[in-house]
Structure 1
């Protein structure tokens, strides 16, 4: 699976990481819906760290992204506009 973090690039993650991504995404969604600033920061940082732990795709290689995450400096209010009932990661 290819995940893009806007402004940073793309990472390749094995499909087996989807459950782990969804778990962290669920925590992020819960923090955002609860207006929990600290929970949001913690969950979003964990999600980005999980993605960054994958294999970085070279900048000169372009793949369609399966998931696109907002930039690391996104705020709680910005995230509230992006998250649907399924979080940031569908599945």
Structure 2
């Protein structure tokens, strides 16, 4: 799966890490729905950091579509709300 982190670039995420990333995504959604700004900031940072840690950078000269888009770690709650789909940031 190819993920784009806004402002950073694309990463290829291994399929075996998607369950873990989905759990982190669930924490982002829960904090956002509860309006808990501090929990939201921590959850979003954890999600983006995990994507960076597990992902392999896609070369800048490669033209591949992104399967999902993650907000930058410093995105606001309102910015993330605008990106959120029915299944959170990470489908599945």
Instruction: Note the C-alpha offset of 1:6.
Output: 1.3
Identify unmatched segments of 5+ residues in structure 2.
none
| Stretch moving more, 60-69 or 35-44 | 60-69
Q: Distance in 2 between matches of 1:63 and 1:6?
A: 15
Please report the TM-score for the alignment, with normalisation by the length of structure 2.
0.90
Instruction: Provide the residue aligned with 1:21 in structure 2.
Output: 21
Q: Distance in 1 between matches of 2:15 and 2:67?
A: 11
> 4+ residue runs of structure 1 moved beyond 3 angstroms?
none
Q: Distance in 1 between matches of 2:44 and 2:83?
A: 13
Please report the TM-score for the alignment, with normalisation by the length of structure 1.
0.90
Instruction: Please provide the CA RMSD for this pair.
Output: 1.2
Instruction: Note the C-alpha offset of 1:77.
Output: 1.9
Instruction: Provide the residue aligned with 2:38 in structure 1.
Output: 38
